[in-house]
Copies of this chain bind each other. A is one copy, B any other.
């Protein structure tokens, strides 16, 4: 049902009218059948973003040579930043969780039902609370409590675990710890966080309380790649819902759970399908 045997190239480069046809012809000339093509030019800085996905069935360049050929024949000519992905390869996801379970359960359900065709080899938490859930799914659960004193050491353990499990993507499913820059630098644009406000409004702690006190009429959630500046990373997905004077903080928290899990899931889905490019702290998210 789902097309499996495809390759995807994500690229961006200074705009040059010739890039799109050059990339298309790279695929066609080597007997690739294009499944999906997306491109976008950012008007203000004349920068091109492109995504192309093609069937590998009759492709004449061997799979393990595609990157080398693309770099030599195309990418180097245009000064591209690019990456190559294969649909067949399942993304290996690490889940980080603290004490809130709504995003955590939601992701596990999508995994279990096959809605997301991924692997989740490992769950990391600063609490032992959800070990029993991990056990249901036969996922390794690592309880690594964090204090100011031990953060760097615990992160070293985490990095070792992530490395051992060949993790491609880290999802912070309401993981309530700030990661150090050293940690983040190991997974640039590969750590997705969910913040429970429509950033840049109500960054930092207690966004629901702050939104309540300000008397706003909309509340939201933001999924973004984690960067060195807290709540400042490139935004992947946002969504909002209307609220009114009738909504207490408790009610906002309840409603917020639903929007948090939706927004996080949409962002992870976009990433899993190689639809996201980042550039200058912004994202291009193809559909």
- Taken together, the copies of this chain in the complex come to 4
A285 within 8 A of B: yes
**Do the beta carbons of B115 and A257 come within 8 Å of each other?**
yes
Tell which of A67-75, A87-95, A181-189, A231-239 binds the partner.
A231-239
B248–A43 contact, CB under 8 A?
yes
CB under 8 Å from chain B, chain A span 72-112: 101-102, 105-106, 109, 112
* Contact of B201 with A287 in the complex, beta carbons under 8 Å: no
Q: Does A262 contact B (CB under 8 A)?
A: yes
1/0 per residue, CB under 8 A from B, across A229-251: the answer is 00000110111101011101110
Cβ contact within 8 Å between B201 and A215: no
A18 within 8 Å of B (CB atoms) = yes
A 34-56 to B, binary, CB cutoff 8 A, 1 in contact else 0: 10110111111000010000000
Q: A37-B39, A234-B215, A235-B216 are in contact. Are A109 and B105 (CB under 8 A)?
A: yes
Q: Provide the bound-state CA to CA distance between A24 and B28, in Å.
A: 15
Given the contacts A216-B238, A258-B262, A113 and B105 also touching, CB distance less than 8 Å: yes
Across the interface, do A17 and B40 meet the contact criterion of CB distance under 8 Å? no
- A218 (CB) vs chain B CBs: closest residue: B238
The residue on B at minimum CB distance from A259 is B262
Closest chain B CB from A205 CB (angstroms) = 16
- A284 in the interface, Cβ–Cβ < 8 Å? yes
Cβ of B215 and Cβ of A281 under 8 Å apart?
Answer: yes
Q: Is B248 a contact partner of A44 (Cβ separation < 8 A)?
A: yes
Closest residue of B by beta carbon distance from A266: B258
Whether A217 touches B237, Cβ cut-off 8 Å, given contacts A28-B18, A109-B109, A245-B42, is yes
Among B24, B113, B282, point to the contact of A21 (Cβ < 8 A): B24
Instruction: Kindly provide the distance from the CB of A28 to the nearest chain B CB, expressed in whole angstroms.
Output: 5
Which of A1, A34, A234 has the most C-beta atoms of chain B within 10 angstroms of its own C-beta? A34
Given A215-B283, A218-B198: A28 and B33 interface contact (C-beta under 8 Å): no
A199 CB to nearest chain B CB (Å): 7
Q: Is the CB of B136 within 8 A of A115?
A: no
The residue on B at minimum CB distance from A265 is: B258
Write the nearest CB–CB distance from A271 to chain B, whole angstroms: 15
A-B contact pairs, 9 of them (CB 8 A): A37-B41, A42-B245, A101-B109, A106-B106, A200-B214, A216-B235, A242-B242, A245-B285, A246-B287
New A-B pairs, 7, CB < 8 Å, besides A105-B105, A105-B109, A218-B238: A17-B33, A20-B37, A21-B28, A102-B109, A198-B201, A200-B216, A246-B287
